[in-house]
Amino acid sequence: MTTHSDEVVIREISVGDYADVLALNSVEQHFTSEIDESRLHELIRWSAHHRVAYSGGTVFGFILAMAASSGYDGVNFRWFADRYPSFLYVDRIVVARESKGRGIGAALYRDLFAQVAKMGVPMITCEINIEPSNPASLAFHERFGFEEVGSASIGGGSKRVSYQQAML
């Protein structure tokens, strides 16, 4: 399924998008995590929702989300899996810095929420860095109804995250 929003097209990630996705992720990896092509392929294989936002042949953003039943090995995903039987976990949503404020992240999330509603999943979950601070992500997620349900120090104490959920 392809969704159009203000000339931005939302569609599934293809192998041809990998270089763009990796480049976008590398700019924000202090908030997400570093990945290479092999890891990206694994993440997409585990994901129930993997989309890009593009216009004019350029990828401006992407999202990867895993279902509760996924074999994903992420520590933050496992936090939710240990507590909730059904959810879709946003592993990462990244929008190109020069495209922030154009509604691309919101378009990716509207597409995600629409798919989750069709799946019958009761909630969407994610973690947001609070150390190092990511106030833009906190504000963005708050607009979509996310609320904190826990927090943790990870990475040997180098990061602190807020575990968030949005009920559908």
pLDDT per residue as tens digits for the range 131-154: 988 898 999 999 999 999 999 999
Helix axes 18-28, 37-46, angle to 10 degrees: 100
Would you place residue 31 in the very low, low, confident or very high pLDDT band (cuts 50, 70, 90)?
Answer: low
DSSP state, residue 156: G
Which pLDDT does position 30 carry in this prediction?
63
| SS3 of residue 103 by DSSP | coil
**Do the beta carbons of residue 65 and residue 88 sit within 8 Å?**
yes
Which pLDDT does position 63 carry in this prediction?
97
Helix axes 104-119, 135-143, angle to 10 degrees: 50
- DSSP H/E element including 25: helix 18-28
Of the chain, the percentage scoring pLDDT greater than 70 comes to 95
Residue 1 has pLDDT above 80, yes or no: no
> What is the token pair recorded at 164?
């968030």
More confident site: 30 or 25: 25
For the stretch 72-112, pLDDT in tens is 989 999 999 999 999 999 999 999 988 888 899 999 999 99
Q: Return the CA Rg of the chain.
A: 15
* Global pTM value: 0.89
Of the chain, the end-to-end C-alpha distance in Å amounts to 21
